[in-house]
Amino acid sequence: MVESQSPGQASETEEAARFQARVDQEIKIEPRDWMPEGYRKTLVRQISQHAHSEIVGMLPEGCWVTRAPSLRRKVQLLAKIQDEAGHGLYLYSAAETLGTPRSEMIDALHSDRAKYSNIFNYPVLSWADIGTIGWLVDGAAIINQIALCRCSYGPYARAMERICREESFHQRQGYEIMMSMAFGTSEQKRMAQSALDRWWGPSLMMFGPSDRDTAQSSQSMAWKIKRVSNDDLRQQFVDMAVPQAEYLGLKIPDPDLKWNEERGHYDFGEIDWAELKRVVSGDGPCNKERMAARIKAHEDGAWVREAAVAYAEKKRQRESAARIAAE
Amino acid sequence: MTAGNDWPLWEVFIRAREGLSHKHVGSLHACDAEMALQHARDVYTRRREGESIWVVQSTDIIASAPADKESLFDPADAKIYRHPTFYEVPDEVECL
Read off the pLDDT of residues A142-152 as tens digits, 9 standing for 90 and up: 999 999 999 99
- Mean pLDDT over all residues of chain A? 94
Q: How confident is the model at residue B2 (pLDDT cuts 50, 70, 90)?
A: very low
- State the Cα–Cα distance between residues A136 and A175, nearest whole angstrom: 9
A66 touches chain B (CB under 8 A): no
Q: Which of B1, B28, B67 sits opposite A89 (nearest CB)?
A: B28
Could you give the percent of chain A with pLDDT greater than 70? 97
B65 contact residues in A (CB cutoff 8 A): 32
Is 50 exceeded by the pLDDT of residue A5? no
B3-64 CATH = 3.10.20.520
Chain A, 111-140: which have a CB under 8 Å from a chain B CB?
111
- State the Cα–Cα distance between residues A156 and A30, nearest whole angstrom: 10
Q: How confident is the model at residue A139 (pLDDT cuts 50, 70, 90)?
A: very high
| Full strand arrangement of the beta sheet holding B9-15 | B23-29, B9-15, B52-57
pLDDT number for residue A3: 47
Mutate to test the interface with A, among B43, B46, B57 (most CBs of A within 10 A): B43
Using CA atoms, how far residue B38 sits from A81, A101, B12, B35, in Å, is: 19, 22, 11, 5
Q: For B5-50, how does the pLDDT look when each residue is reduced to its tens digit (9 = 90+)?
A: 789 999 999 999 999 999 999 999 999 999 999 999 999 999 999 9
Mutate to test the interface with B, among A15, A32, A52, A89 (most CBs of B within 10 A): A89
Put simply, the answer to whether B31 touches A308 (Cβ < 8 Å) is yes
User: Which residues are CB-neighbours of A179 under 8 A, at least 6 positions away?
Assistant: A248
pLDDT number for residue A315: 93
Q: For A14-66, how does the pLDDT look when each residue is reduced to its tens digit (9 = 90+)?
A: 999 999 999 999 999 999 999 999 999 999 999 999 999 999 999 999 989 99
Amino acid at B28: L
B65 touches chain A (CB under 8 A): yes
The mean-pLDDT minimum among A69-78, A171-180, A217-226, A262-271 falls in: A217-226
pLDDT number for residue A10: 72
Q: How confident is the model at residue A7 (pLDDT cuts 50, 70, 90)?
A: low
Q: For A84-126, how does the pLDDT look when each residue is reduced to its tens digit (9 = 90+)?
A: 999 999 999 999 999 999 999 999 999 999 999 999 999 999 9
pLDDT number for residue B35: 95
Query: Could you tell me the residue ranges of all domains in chain B?
Result: 3-64
Is 90 exceeded by the pLDDT of residue B53? yes
Chain-centroid distance, C-alpha A131: 18
Put simply, the answer to whether A159 touches B43 (Cβ < 8 Å) is no
A157 touches chain B (CB under 8 A): no
Q: How confident is the model at residue A168 (pLDDT cuts 50, 70, 90)?
A: confident
List the one residue out of A212, A213, A220, A257 whose CA is nearest residue A235: A257
More confident residue, A325 or A159: A159
Amino acid at A115: K
